[in-house]
Structure 1
């Protein structure tokens, strides 16, 4: 049985950082210039957290590949964190978006596409009524707001260590049984425990206790945890969750944003779940900012009657750019041409090959690692078993030195992994040759650090 040698990891890391600098001189130049105009020289502070000596500057993408300003062509298993889940430069999306820009992007009026988008979302995800926003974060905020208005309750229940975007009330974690603000998050003069309760994912008894006093408006979270490592629901978890929420009059909201790759129709459809609302964003418009809230018929009826149709009630939702002509056109193109059952078959087929390749490499060296997988999304767990909650997840709280070294090693050899957790996401544009390349480079890495 072999193990990871920390000294080898450190030596490989130093060498790979030097290789990175040699390959990315124009990116360094652009980063230095951009420091004069943006904090840390990046338009989104997340980019400054990436495990590289300096940020990479993107030039273009096509299919499953991206090219940076230095001309480095890389196979992309990050896909913008799934924002470009179906690949870059899809002709039907490019044509639809370019055409709509020429005709007008955001007139603050409905378009014919609204009907086709609503019916397409119903066909794919099952819920019958929809609203369009500008991000999944906004969709989650508005789903919480609707839940509070409909139930006349203030509190929400979230999963400790889960992820709902930048929703302030979701930054709640359990710390020795107490609800605390997630470490590293600024309190902003908020008492998180007044508005939110938290339980561990898969803790049915914890959920039962949290909802027993019928003071919680909604349970909101991903149907499978994706941002603290991949944590899958235990058998019968969702059935018990739905029974408890119905018994206590609590709405159930599932965030599908990063679970859409679980299968056609997302995790909700794949597992035959029955939420009151679902939220999503990212890949639904090919990378154009978008958020969606899908509602069950009973919820939509209450919303239409008591909130949206009452001129005396201002729900405080929406924004000028929400539901724009450009968004609707892009969503329709994705639904009709990208989010197809055939594309999901391809994604899952390539994911099977990627998983098998990594498992062969791990088994050959006797490493106590496993692969956590959700549909076309997977990652290496530096432990022998899948976690049952975010707190248990070996990938919770940041990357290990081995994981950081793997990321830059793969990058320097033409493979771009998601920088948080080294998640591998397989688009339908990935080929068998691409999965073979991934397996070969993964084996080469393990040869160097064991």
Structure 2
């Protein structure tokens, strides 16, 4: 029997990948020449190592972006559904944010002191995400790391509970998975020396029994979770799962931290506000300042008071939290612009309508070709998954992830003028994304499926 991946013969996937890679390379002579001339100055030829992880044989060099379109230096105009993997979810350089950057640039870029815009941003954050005591970071990785320090401080416990297959940036404690003997470090970690099983424990998403078993040891400071698992194959929460997490965290004395860095696509205020979740701490990054590197993390008044009591008794010295360029005035200018003029209910309504159209179009093509795949949507975020669904756990999501097949599809879509996220099959709809762009993506997807499934 022919080997199949996601229902597609492996030989057909390899042939499509080779054809599309050659087509991509042939269409980008200027990019190849520029990379050959300048790339050797970077480790691995790129300024950030994961830029090598796109499926094409070499990365695009971007000339300019506008709205939901990227143009590379060879002149190709690409409909952008990756949108910086959520960093530009509201479109590239939203006009209010661009104006705020220009205005703040004339007043200074960083000076380690707050501004009036900082005070305004605090009020806007509470209006949008709920009443929290806020702090500002540069990345969601930093924000999650700092939130975990606070959780450990106020509980006196050392471990964080995360879910198998989770995504929380590059926080060391979350780089774990479920192995045959339980919690273990993820394979492939660079320079890992600490025993992560001493500071983390893994449970399965949607499995409250596994959560309760992990909490029973009494050493878990916090449950850190996305409302929806996102960074591999999307897994939606089952009925009652989040209510169960809240009850278990309270009963066992652990804090509940909700990381909305991807699920901010869910609607105004993120999944937490849309679905009425009640976290003790809240984290969001990426697009919260319109694409300028910014993350925010907050805690309830109760947690803030507990932390204040702890802080009053700790020895003087470094807290281990904070970076010099965090909470700079440029971040606050862009936070105010985004929260007041970009992250609006009207924009979310447009994004939701477009995402629903995309979800329906992709699902129709999957049904037409009888592909054993499914589509999942969380607000403005859509993902096709090359396996039957729905998925319920991280273990199932890992099994549904088919890198060779997905890479071939991504390369083929790019050659047809559509860019999606490189590490999974995620697509985002921004307020700037047009119906015509959505329909072009559906047509490109149909063409690719024709090459994979038609005999």
Please state which band the TM-score falls in when normalised by the shorter chain: over 0.9
Q: State TM-score, norm by structure 1.
A: 0.96
Question: Counterpart in 1 of 2:373?
Answer: 369
Q: State TM-score, norm by structure 2.
A: 0.95
Aligned ranges 1:326-405 → 2 under 5 Å? 326-393=330-397, 399-405=402-408
Count the aligned residue pairs.
448
Question: Counterpart in 2 of 1:312?
Answer: 316
Question: Counterpart in 1 of 2:225?
Answer: 221
Cα shift readout 1:166-209 (whole Å, capped 9, x = no counterpart): 10111111102421101211362111111111111111011111
Pick the aligned partner of 1:288 from 281, 285, 292. 292
Pick the aligned partner of 1:434 from 432, 437, 441. 437
SS in 2 for 1:103: coil
Shift in Å, 1:68: 1.0
- Structure 1: tracts of 5 or more residues without a match: none
SS in 2 for 1:278: strand
Question: Counterpart in 2 of 1:448?
Answer: 451
1:97 aligns with 2:68: no
Cα shift readout 1:103-142 (whole Å, capped 9, x = no counterpart): 1011111000111111111111113221001110000000
Shift in Å, 1:314: 4.0
Classify 1:141/1:394 alpha carbon distance in 2 versus 1 (closer, same or farther; 3 Å).
closer
Question: Counterpart in 2 of 1:270?
Answer: 274
Cα shift readout 1:342-387 (whole Å, capped 9, x = no counterpart): 1110111000100111111111122221102211112111222121
1:170 aligns with 2:178: no
Cα shift readout 1:293-347 (whole Å, capped 9, x = no counterpart): 0211111223344327978364221111111001111111110111000111011
Question: Counterpart in 2 of 1:239?
Answer: 243
The two structures, once aligned, show a CA RMSD in angstroms of 1.7
1:172, 1:341 → 2: CA distance?
37
Question: Counterpart in 1 of 2:28?
Answer: 24
1:136, 1:401 → 2: CA distance?
29
1:5, 1:349 → 2: CA distance?
35
2:399, 2:337 → 1: CA distance?
35
Shift in Å, 1:31: 1.9
Question: Counterpart in 2 of 1:410?
Answer: 413
Classify 1:198/1:187 alpha carbon distance in 2 versus 1 (closer, same or farther; 3 Å).
farther
Pick the aligned partner of 2:38 from 25, 30, 34. 34
- Structure 2: tracts of 5 or more residues without a match: 1-5
CA contact (8 A) 2:354 2:435 kept: yes
1:179 aligns with 2:178: no
Shift in Å, 1:11: 2.5
1:324 aligns with 2:328: yes
